[in-house]
Amino acid sequence: MKEITLSQITKTAWILIAMVFLISLLTRNLSIISGIGVGSLLGWLNFKGLIITTQRGFRSSRPKLYIQFSYLVRLTILGLILIIILQIKAINFIAVIMGLSIIMLAILVEGIRGRY
């Protein structure tokens, strides 16, 4: 079993984001294109926040508390942003959720690759 690195996940995530975004362009539906774009951006920022929080957390005097609090703050902010996006009818919310899921798909793909 190979070790999975953050750079591998990042590279795979950007490839998947590009692929999904190009596919969304084929729909010629601006609400879907913007939803995929916004969702991908939010997913990427959330993933980057997780990386930074974890790295800083292990350097803090109380890592568990720091990571839990940061996670709660990040998810609260993400939830508020999603509520605002839900109110905007020009952005397809299902596409936003799909964009958010791309990071999870990248982690899954790298997990499968690392296993074999």
In order along its 116 residues, the chain shows pLDDT tens digits of 678 888 899 999 999 999 999 999 999 999 999 999 999 999 999 999 988 998 888 888 888 888 899 999 999 999 999 999 999 889 999 999 999 999 999 999 998 887 77
- Total of domains in the chain: 1
In a domain, 23, yes or no: yes
pLDDT at 3: 80
Neighbours of 56 (CB within 10 A): 13
Contact 30, 64 (CB under 8 A): no
In a domain, 1, yes or no: no
Residue 80 domain-assigned?
Answer: yes
52 in a structural domain: yes
Write out the residue range of the structural domain in which residue 34 sits: 6-115
pTM score of the predicted model? 0.84
Burial class (CB in 10 A: 0-12, 13-18, 19+), 55: exposed
